[in-house]
Amino acid sequence: MTDRVSASMLKVFLSDKAKYNAYWVEKTQAPPDLSTRTAVMVGDCVHQILLEKKVVTDVVVNYPESCFKSNGAINPKPASEFREIMAADGKYVVKDDEFRRIVEICNSVIDHPLGQLVSRNDIVFEEPVFWTDDSTGIDCRAKPDFMYVDDKHVLCYDLKVSESSNPDTWVRISKRLNYWLQAAHYISGLAHVHNKPVRFVFWVIESAWPYRIAQYEFDAISLERCTSTYSNLMSDLKRRTESGDWKESWELGSNSLLIESWDLKEQEEELEGFDD
């Protein structure tokens, strides 16, 4: 599906034009595999259980005793072989504490309004969306976690499993991971497909106790900025694809180095006490 641009691909383009070119235009390099990272694994398991309605044991399994040494440590070779067998069956292999954490994250949703939302029959879960961007002609794709469509609008939800759902932390996380770009891309796609106003909402679940849940969305002014920047980014992608120019602006000339006064550690003159 790399012939259609996704939000993840756009994030790479935003940060590094040369990598985007190597990954998805010339295809001389493979994108990094992030699936083995614990945070990514936990998030994927929670998505499968909550949104795809899978049973926990169909998603994750514990290491058997044969994968441990006598001192309780993981035995690398049998553990690796067991992970490969389970991966072929679509399952993650986790330690006991990770298994409990995944279960507790999912359980935290049950008595929350989010739990009622994902149980509704009129919600569409993980349905791929394909469109061609009107202004650039670029073919795009997205896969909303879950959404509700009626005669007047589209309500799109994205589920995030994060280290914290507290605004003081998660607002910084959302900026660092460029979640604004995901929101703008999904809003554009759903508007193209349904020709209706789109509201985009993040549901954030903490990945550690007390597993709190919070809801976030961009205000009107921020959303206008996001969609404007997204439009400019798509235009830049079109230009570079047509011209074959994947250089960053900082590669084209000399770059200035700025030193503020507080960057310098000025040493006071030593007026006495010299050894020689």
Q: Residue 267 has what pLDDT?
A: 53
Listed in sequence order, the residues at least 6 apart from 237 whose beta carbon sits closer than 8 Å to its beta carbon are 5, 10, 13, 136, 138
Query: In whole angstroms, what is the distance from residue 39 CA to residue 218 CA?
Result: 24
Decide if pLDDT at 145 tops 90: yes
Tens digit of each residue's pLDDT (9 = 90 or more) over 17-53: 999 999 999 999 999 988 888 999 999 999 999 999 9
Q: What letter represents residue 16's amino acid?
A: D
Burial (Cβ within 10 Å: 0-12, 13-18, ≥19) of residue 245: exposed
Does residue 104 carry a pLDDT above 60?
yes
* Euclidean distance between CA atoms 47 and 127, whole angstroms: 13
Percent of all residues in the chain with a pLDDT value above 70, rounded to a whole number? 96
Does the pLDDT value for residue 113 go beyond 70?
Answer: yes
Average pLDDT, the chain: 93
Which pLDDT value is given to residue 16?
A: 97
Domain annotation for the chain: domains and CATH numbers: 1-32+111-244 (3.90.320.10), 34-108 (no CATH)
Residue 276 has pLDDT above 90, yes or no: no
Confidence of residue 270 (pLDDT cuts 50, 70, 90): very low
Over residues 259-270, mean pLDDT: 72
- Mean local confidence (pLDDT), 176-198: 97
Which has the higher per-residue pLDDT, 37 or 136? Answer: 136
Q: Lowest mean pLDDT: which of 37-51, 54-68, 222-236, 251-265?
A: 251-265
141-161 mean pLDDT: 96
CB 19 within 8 A of CB 26: no
Q: What is the pLDDT of residue 275?
A: 52
- Alpha helix locations (H) across 92-163? 96-110, 113-118
Question: E strands, the chain, where?
Answer: 60-62, 92-94, 124-125, 129-132, 139-142, 146-149, 154-162, 198-206, 213-216
Cα–Cα dist 260/264, whole Å: 7
Beta bridge partners of 199: 155
CA 232 to chain centroid: 21
Q: What confidence category does residue 274 fall into, taking pLDDT thresholds of 50, 70 and 90?
A: very low
